[in-house]
Amino acid sequence: MPDGVFQRVPVYPGCENSLANNGKKRCMSENVTAFVSQKYNTSFIKDIGLNGVQKIYVMFKIDKTGNVINIRAKAKHGGLEAEAIRVVSLLPRMKPGIVRGKLVTVPYSLPIGLAIRGN
């Protein structure tokens, strides 16, 4: 949805005091990125023989109750996809988005890049 449509974008816990929707979006992006970086388990990667930069594209929605739902991922290897889905499913409950006074479900996409150095 275009930025101007939201009365309030979904809000990540701790981002409530950020100024305006742009500040809340930036705070959410920073927190989601930090959360995924911290929780993503890379220990299995050496066993699957991947090298170089691996891209994982994750799509999900934040529903009207603030929960993360409908998580999907695309990557070169199913293990990368499964781990991305696992980590995103652990995201905390958020304050849902509001459009025209009503709670709404909001789609998100999250690119994840992993730099894998030789086994």
Write down the pLDDT at residue 52.
Answer: 81
Q: What is the pTM of this model?
A: 0.86
State which residues form the domain around 41: 3-116
- Please state, in angstroms and as integers, the Cα–Cα distance from residue 119 to each residue in 37, 56, 116, following that order: 21, 20, 8
Residues 83 and 115: their CA atoms lie apart, in Å, by 16
Write down the pLDDT at residue 4.
Answer: 59
Write down the pLDDT at residue 69.
Answer: 98
CATH number at residue 55: 3.30.1150
Q: How many domains does the chain have?
A: 1
Write down the pLDDT at residue 118.
Answer: 61
Write down the pLDDT at residue 48.
Answer: 80
Point out the residues of the chain with pLDDT beneath 50. 1
Write down the pLDDT at residue 111.
Answer: 94
